[in-house]
């Protein structure tokens, strides 16, 4: 399945390769457009027929970032089998909630694919598995084995900015470094720089856990608590991310990189972040369900908060910020009450 990935970078760089991008949300469409503009053959899968038609014939995604003109060479389909039929490399950008079901549908075709990349963030509901583990589980591949070339593309990547050519960076993480190098070459442009990493666990956890704290950052802004409060909150959030992330197997240095601190900064500061938007909306008495229905998007931080809360209890790890955000999301605690609870905790050493 993966034999061609052990060859030199020239097997992909400078050569037309066939990509299938699964998921026509804002980020999936942006990445498909980026690859297409680099000269790769790209077919984008959209669940909705009207979106596939609009991307192919009108060169716009009518649901996400509709103001951005897409490459005229980008084609889309609503047929998953057709999307995968001639693909050599498959990029998945679908919400964690739907990933396993989609993979089960397509697993026979995926076993003949040369390479898989996942650019979505989150954890599997119920199991708490990282998304790379879901791929490996469905495809029957042993983690970190020679056949394990499932890569993660993560970082502070707001689709609306990358889509119009604003500068950004990401990290490609995979235990197979040769495959990570190939991803670097495929996705890097003059405005989008890709680094590589072998700590896939840490990169995935950073990209997932930061969504919890981005919700909290939206609450800080929604309550009008000010810049001092937000700086203190984000510093303690990073501390909490590292505490849980390293316990779950990530390397501490990874969390200070693009997929940890970098992604936290972007999603906690930007009004473009869905998780930040949710936190802000909670301060206006909106519920998570109402917000998701209104925005027609999946807010990954909600389910990730549940998973992290359960890990904290199971592993007896102190996660005070996560616990308060959990109670706001699932127990109807008022955001202002959560802020008061965090400020009234017993005084600690900063390293605790």
Report the C-alpha gap between 221 and 215 in whole angstroms. 10
Report the C-alpha gap between 244 and 68 in whole angstroms. 38
Phi, psi values for residue 198, rounded to 5°:
-105, -10
Q: Which of 107, 114, 210, 348 is catalytic?
A: 210
270: DSSP letter? -
Report the C-alpha gap between 288 and 302 in whole angstroms. 8
Query: Is there a catalytic annotation at residue 210?
Result: yes
Say which residues have a Cβ less than 8 Å from residue 40's Cβ, sequence separation at least 6.
16, 17, 18, 19, 186
**Orientation angle between helical segments 274-282 and 288-295, nearest 10 degrees:** 130
Report the C-alpha gap between 130 and 154 in whole angstroms. 13
SS3 state of residue 183: helix
Active-site positions?
A: 210
């Amino acid at each position: 399945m993966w034999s061609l990935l052990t060859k030199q970078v020239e097997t992909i760089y400078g050569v037309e390769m066939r990509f299938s991008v699964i998921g026509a949300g804002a980020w999936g469409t942006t990445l498909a457009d980026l690859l297409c503009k680099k000269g790769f053959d790209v077919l984008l899968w959209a669940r909705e027929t009207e979106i596939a038609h609009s991307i192919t014939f009108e060169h716009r995604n009518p649901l996400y970032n509709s103001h951005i003109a897409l490459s005229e060479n980008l084609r889309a389909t609503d047929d998953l089998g057709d999307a995968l039929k001639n693909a050599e490399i498959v990029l998945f950008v679908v919400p964690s909630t739907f990933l396993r079901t989609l993979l089960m549908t397509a697993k026979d075709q995926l076993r003949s694919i040369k390479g898989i990349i996942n650019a979505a963030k989150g954890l599997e509901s119920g199991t708490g598995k990282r998304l790379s583990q879901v791929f490996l589980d469905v495809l029957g591949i042993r983690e970190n084995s020679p056949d394990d070339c499932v890569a993660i593309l993560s970082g502070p990547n707001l689709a609306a900015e990358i889509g119009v050519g604003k500068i950004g960076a990401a990290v490609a993480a995979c235990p197979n470094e040769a495959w990570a190098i190939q991803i670097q070459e495929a996705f890097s442009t003059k405005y989008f720089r890709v680094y590589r990493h072998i700590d896939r666990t840490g990169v995935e956890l950073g990209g997932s856990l930061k969504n919890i704290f981005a919700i909290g950052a939206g609450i800080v802004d929604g309550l009008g608590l000010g810049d001092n409060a937000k700086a203190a909150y984000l510093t303690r959030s990073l501390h909490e991310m590292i505490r849980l992330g390293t316990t779950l197997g990530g390397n501490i240095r990874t969390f200070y990189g693009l997929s940890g601190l970098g992604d936290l900064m972007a999603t906690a500061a930007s009004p473009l972040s869905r998780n930040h938007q949710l936190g802000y909306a909670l301060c206006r008495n909106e519920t998570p369900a109402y917000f998701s229905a209104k925005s027609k998007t999946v807010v990954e931080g909600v389910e990730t908060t549940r998973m992290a809360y359960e890990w904290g209890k199971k592993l007896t790890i102190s996660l005070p910020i996560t616990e308060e955000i959990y109670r706001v999301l699932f127990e109807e605690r008022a955001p202002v009450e959560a802020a008061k609870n965090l400020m009234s905790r017993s005084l600690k050493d900063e390293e605790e």
